[in-house]
Chain A
Amino acid sequence: MTSGCGEKSSGACERLSHVGHREGDSPVGLRPNGLIVRAVVCFVWLAFASLALVSCAREKREFRQAPPAARLESVRDIDLSPGGPAPTPPTKNAAEESAYAVNEGKRLFDQYNCTGCHFHGGGGIGPALMDDKWIYGSDPANIFETIVEGRPNGMPSFGQKISDAQVWELVAYVRSMSGLLPKDVSPTRDDHMSAAPSEQRAPKQVPVGSGIPKSAEMSQ
């Protein structure tokens, strides 16, 4: 019992003497240490604060959408015009800025049976959508036209059957398939049983067998 008490008191003495020794030895020695600690604490705090800022900009899900862009008034069948075609600024599609909207586009692509002809982007009855070839243009407005008005040789017109907001979601998804959308709005998951990376996240690939004979490629 007594030895324990003695140990305790001697420990306390040691600690006291240690502190005294340090202070006496180098009065400025503590400063750099303190600075480092303070800097680390500041850094950690800043890191957490910036995290909080990130969480502020949470994407909002719009359930009652107005059409994001005005519908084109008329269809122009011919590109010929005096002085050449007027350069049109690319249409802005608000659905392309929301991961939720792109994901909805993906759901609708399946539910509205786009997969029936285009399959999951690879094409079959209809043209492939995941390559960089666009028969009628890659601008959102062009794709919108394609869906709403239809195109010759099989693409039906969905004009009265799909609401404009949903068409814009489909446009966003169709463009995401060939990597035209920023990565942060790509659909993150598949609803299918086989887990595959989403279109946007899959690395871009060079077609292996393009169908063009080797000799033809060489001559060009």
Chain B
Amino acid sequence: MRRERDHLRSWRGLTHARSTWRAACVLIMPFALTLLDACSGAQQSVLDPAGPQAVRTDKLWWLFFYVCAFVFVFVMIALFLALRRASLWRDETASARGVTELPMLRPAPEKERRTTNVIVGATCVTVVILFIFLVASYSVGRSLSTRMEQNNKVTIEITGHQWWWQVRYTDSNPQNIFETANEIHIPVGVPVTVELKSQDVIHSFWVPNLAGKKDLIPGKTSILWLRADHPGTYRGQCAEYCGMQHAHMALYVVAEPREQFDAWLAHQRAPASQPTDDSQRRGQQVFLSSPCIMCHTITGTTAGAHVGPDLTHLSSRSTIAAATLPNTRGHLAGWVVDSQGVKPGNQMPPNNLSSEDLMALLDYLQSLK
């Protein structure tokens, strides 16, 4: 009997050890993963801030993380100790069969007072921690929404569509205003005002490396300030579910030195390049005499609709279909002919073009540098 019990106890000890090890693994894994994420220098990561706004949210995030991690570990240790004590107590009662009264029913005022003290203490600590969080969160929120100093200001108007981003660079001189889509260029170290609008449903502009989320609400202009302190390409994403292809509504923000940005700006302001060879000329004819013209704009031609993205400098962009596909000839062809196969539900209709017409159209579109 006794040997049996000993055996049982040792077995229980073994499972204890094994489950503890497993619990430790489960606890450590997420932490290890987040650390890995922070190291990688990702294109889209809150933990890799590239501007003052993102640094603020990053600091807030780490404050929450450390405090919550500490509380979590503390609670787990307390739970572990409580379970251990309970199992010891069970062993005790099992061995002491002769006792008539259960130990649990014995009055223990001292123990009860201790329990009350612990509960009151823990509640107070929780309230204090939550209050610290409240103050920190509020102050970060305030600092995010304060207007940045405006010298050499760049103002970008972003309109959300299902499912792409219309980008308009405003200027006091109307001649300098131009449109592009799904790719924003900004100068490094210069505050940028982003005016956010929506044409259909609520979207949310989120470039985690640069700033927090901001909703695009139909009928309202929301304003976001951001500044990139390091050059680089950062990925953004619609962060408010907006329909079928919400997941394929991304954009890139390219932060580059001022000279490079100015060159890009000058190039984007220029009208589209004219076709130089026969194939491109035919491609332009195809474009202007097919359904393309009902939705797209190419400056310098008769195409001037604003339903779909502006294609004036299509080939200068690195992706098509709101950062869904790389901008290569093959992907472009697939997109023109059967966009519904790539992104079902988008507003581009399938186009029945002959192969010669398609090749000519691609030549023309790729010449729009």
Contacts and interface: CB of A to CB of B under 8 A. Distances in A.
Interface of A: 61, 63-64, 107, 111-112, 160-163, 165-166, 191, 193
Contact of A162 (B200, B219, B291, B341): B291
Given A63-B340, A161-B291, A191-B200, A166 B218 contact: no
Given A111-B307, A193-B218, A193-B219, A160 B289 contact: yes
A166 B290 contact: no
Q: Which residue of B295, B340, B349, B352 has the most chain A CB atoms within 10 A of its CB atom?
A: B349
B293 interface: yes
Q: Which 8 pairs show the lowest CB-CB distances between chains A and B?
A: A63-B340, A111-B307, A64-B340, A163-B349, A63-B344, A193-B219, A161-B294, A163-B291
A163 B350 contact: yes
A166 B345 CA distance: 14
B191 to A, nearest CB: 31
Given A61-B345, A63-B344, A163 B338 contact: no
B338 to A, nearest CB: 7
B293 A161 contact: yes
B165 to A, nearest CB: 18
Nearest to B351: A163
A160 B341 CA distance: 23
Contact of A63 (B294, B307, B345, B351): B345
Contacts of B307: 111-112
Contacts of B352: 163
Contacts of A165: 349
A161 B289 CA distance: 7
Category for how many chain B residues contact A: 20 to 34
B338 A162 contact: no
A84 B83 CA distance: 96
Interface of B: 200, 218-219, 289-291, 293-295, 307, 338, 340-341, 344-345, 347, 349-352
Contacts of B345: 61, 63
A64 B352 CA distance: 12
17 contacts: A61-B345, A63-B344, A63-B345, A64-B340, A64-B341, A64-B350, A111-B294, A111-B307, A112-B307, A160-B291, A161-B293, A162-B291, A163-B291, A163-B349, A163-B351, A166-B291, A166-B349
Contacts of B344: 63
A191 B198 CA distance: 12
A36 B235 CA distance: 65
A166 B294 CA distance: 12
A193 B307 CA distance: 18
A165 B340 CA distance: 14
A163 B292 CA distance: 10
Given A64-B340, A160-B289, A160-B291, 19 more contacts: A61-B345, A63-B344, A64-B341, A64-B350, A111-B295, A111-B307, A112-B307, A160-B290, A161-B289, A161-B290, A161-B293, A162-B291, A163-B291, A163-B349, A163-B350, A163-B352, A165-B349, A166-B349, A191-B200
Nearest to B244: A61
A64 B290 contact: no
A52 B350 CA distance: 35
A161 B349 CA distance: 11
A62 B21 CA distance: 53
Contacts of B295: 111
Contacts of A63: 340, 344-345
